[in-house]
Amino acid sequence: MMWGNWTTVKEFILVSFSTLSSEVQALLFLLFLTIYLITLMGNVLIILVTTADSALQSPMYFFLRNLSFLEIGFNLVIVPKMLGTLVIQDTTISFLGCATQMYFFFFFGAAECCLLATMAYDRYVAICDPLHYPVIMGRRSCAQLAAASWFSGVPVATVQTTWIFSFPFCGPNRVNHFFCDSPPVIALVCADTSLFELEALTATVLFILFPFLLILGSYVRILSTIFRMPSAEGKRKAFSTCSSHLLVVSLFYSTAILTYFRPRSNTSPENKKLLSLSYTVVTPMLNPIIYSLRNNEVKAALRRVVLRALGPQKL
């Protein structure tokens, strides 16, 4: 099917939170704007601190920088348009704009799933095979793993987005969501989408469930190794190095799995919007906070950065 032959819809309307009163939408705008600014500042701060501080040059912080870049991109794709729908009621999005938003949503989402699995592997090697850690997680290996995580988003984003927007849209154009996610967009297609839905399920298993199982397997081995450690101090240090990542993974995957693996009949559009807010808006804000508050090395680096910044003013 060619777009020019079939597509009569030139733009979509994002329903977003239009069913709520204007007062509630104004409050939501202020809330989401605050979260958005905290997210950007927090992740930028993580990038700057882990880049500038010589004590934070290990593979763990290299992957953390990549995660912060992903979270910033993920937020930029979703939140600005959502804020526009709330403050100026700009609910329309062009056909190309919707496809672009969906493409980068898939890209950053798949890349983040793979990067979280890579970070779990890094912790697994550090705790379960510490003698070989410098060799296994050398600079070149880390760069390759990070590049593979980023590249993993390209095929799923390209296939999913191209396939969806090659379908005919010849009827309603109201997307019952605050961004162009595939389920509410595919619901507007006036053609048989069963083959695409099978492919989408396969992609979801590969890029959400499979990395999650790898993370789960890594942490089973990690916890088994920690519990066998004779020293209580050693156990505490080992667990502290992976507790932040484990918490981030739990937040991200719990909402993503609830969103994409629940039967459609059990999930109303409003419930799905709330679940989507968790991993598109809230989790990217919490990640830098979690890594800052639960990681002594990051807290120490932040103090050093602040002292260096204030130092000249004291002289």
Phi-psi region of 174 (alpha: psi -120 to 50; beta: other; left: phi over 0): beta
Higher pLDDT, 289 or 29: 29
pLDDT for the residue 315: 40
CA dist 3 and 22 (Å) reads 37
pLDDT tens-place string over residues 226-266: 888 888 877 887 787 788 888 888 888 887 777 776 666 55
Whether the Cβ atoms of residue 301 and residue 49 lie closer than 8 Å to each other:
yes
Q: Which of 103, 88, 45 is nearest to 303 (CA)?
A: 45
Task: Work out the average pLDDT over 74-99.
Answer: 89
- Between 92-101, 181-190, 298-307, the lowest mean confidence (pLDDT) is in 298-307
pLDDT for the residue 35: 93
pLDDT for the residue 207: 83
Burial class from Cβ neighbours inside 10 Å (0-12, 13-18, 19+) for residue 149 reads buried
User: Percentage of residues in the chain with pLDDT exceeding 90?
Assistant: 41
Asked whether the predicted pLDDT for residue 87 surpasses 60, the reply is yes
- Give the CA angle between residues 204, 248, 67 to the nearest 5°: 75
Note the pTM of the prediction, 2 decimals: 0.88
Q: How confident is the model at residue 313 (pLDDT cuts 50, 70, 90)?
A: low
pLDDT for the residue 279: 82
Higher pLDDT, 270 or 79: 79
Total residues belonging to the chain: 315
